[in-house]
């Protein structure tokens, strides 16, 4: 039994679910591990939960753990469903583990090389996390690209150069796209050097995307490849389990730079209005942290 300390709202996916925009063909694929109910609604959804083990194996009792569980004050899961949060990672920051796990998987899929020129298009939770992970690669040139100039402050906190789409430097070996917009994907292709590749992290729900594939896409031999966290990246699938990937994500969160991704905090009782504000766009920010003090 886990008593929740904090949970995080995964802004992009959870607002899509909240608005009822999960395509019928993806009902099975989009189920959260401990979801209750069925799409389109009502569903209990979420997967960024950090809590304290109150009852369980002696090796876990009293430990702070991360679990892919929805927003809930207490819950019971198998011991194998939780990952112990390292001592050097604050519980409030550990809610980002699921997001950083997605970023880690994308980097495994992208397989960057030393000295690569890389752009990450879309400075949301996932895109910013990818940029932070990539910034640690030797001799790489990483730029975080977003249409909102205010995201420059996030990039600065992460230690990554920022550019608007018009300012972004082209000739990239690799572009990771995470803006979930048609314009962002088109710009990602434009930023590539010959034989370059876009790793597509965005999930568009029911929206369709139109691309100018009749222009330089063929002549420059460009590629678009999907990355999705539901499966361990093929490059590591035979040697890393889901538990291994999550443990690595939590170790990465020892870096205090990730704290910049958590932009607001609200108590659990205000979660309904928080979700409404996110879904309508009235509530800005990246990751919204939900606190459970006194529960």
The per-residue pLDDT for 107 is 96
Question: 167: domain CATH number?
Answer: 3.40.50.720
Residue at 239 is within a domain: no
Residue 222 in tokens:
């460009």
Question: 20: domain CATH number?
Answer: 3.90.180.10
Domain that holds residue 222: 101-226
* Beta-bridge partner residues of 179: none
Residue 117 in tokens:
């020129």
Residue at 243 is within a domain: no
Identify whether the C-beta of residue 122 lies closer than 8 Å to the C-beta of residue 179: yes
| Strand, helix or coil for residue 182 | helix
Q: How many helices (H) and strands (E) does the chain have?
A: 9, 15
Residue 12 in tokens:
């992009």
pLDDT tens string for the chain (295 positions)? 999 999 999 887 898 899 998 888 889 988 989 999 999 999 999 999 999 999 999 999 999 999 999 999 999 999 999 999 999 999 999 999 999 999 999 999 999 999 999 999 999 999 999 999 999 899 999 999 999 999 999 999 999 999 999 999 999 999 999 999 999 999 999 999 999 999 999 988 778 899 999 878 999 999 999 999 989 999 899 899 999 999 999 999 999 999 999 999 999 999 999 999 999 989 988 899 999 985 4
In terms of domains, do 151 and 182 share one? yes
* Beta-bridge partner residues of 264: 288
Contacts of 93 by beta carbon, 8 Å cutoff, 6+ apart? 253, 256, 258, 259, 262
Q: What's the total number of domains in the chain?
A: 2
In terms of domains, do 217 and 148 share one? yes
Residue at 181 is within a domain: yes
């Amino acid at each position: 039994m886990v008593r929740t300390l904090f949970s995080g709202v995964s802004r992009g996916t959870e607002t899509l679910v909240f608005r009822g925009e999960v395509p019928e063909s993806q009902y099975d694929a989009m189920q959260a591990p401990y979801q209750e109910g069925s799409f389109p609604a009502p569903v209990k959804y979420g997967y960024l939960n950090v809590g304290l083990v109150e009852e369980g194996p002696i090796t876990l009792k009293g430990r702070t753990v991360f679990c892919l569980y929805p927003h809930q004050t207490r819950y019971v899961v198998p011991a194998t469903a939780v990952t112990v949060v390292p001592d050097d990672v604050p519980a409030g920051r550990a809610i980002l583990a699921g997001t950083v796990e997605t970023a880690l998987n994308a980097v495994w899929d992208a397989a960057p090389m030393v000295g690569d020129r890389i752009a990450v298009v879309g400075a949301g939770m996932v895109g910013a996390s990818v940029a932070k992970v990539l910034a640690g690669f030797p001799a790489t040139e990483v730029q975080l690209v977003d249409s909102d100039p205010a995201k420059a402050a996030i990039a600065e906190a992460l230690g990554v150069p920022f550019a608007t789409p018009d300012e972004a430097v082209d000739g990239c070996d690799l572009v990771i796209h995470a803006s979930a917009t048609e314009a962002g994907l088109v710009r990602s292709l434009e930023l590539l050097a010959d034989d370059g590749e876009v790793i597509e992290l965005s999930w568009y729900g029911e929206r369709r995307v139109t691309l100018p594939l009749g222009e330089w896409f063929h002549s420059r031999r460009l590629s678009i490849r999907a990355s999705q966290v539901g499966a361990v990246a093929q490059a590591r699938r035979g040697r890393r389990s889901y538990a291994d990937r999550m443990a690595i994500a939590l170790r990465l969160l020892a870096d205090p730079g990730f704290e910049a991704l958590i932009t607001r905090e609200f108590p659990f009782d205000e979660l309904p209005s928080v979700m409404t504000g996110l879904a309508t766009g009235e509530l800005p920010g990246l990751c919204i942290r939900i606190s459970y003090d006194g529960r």
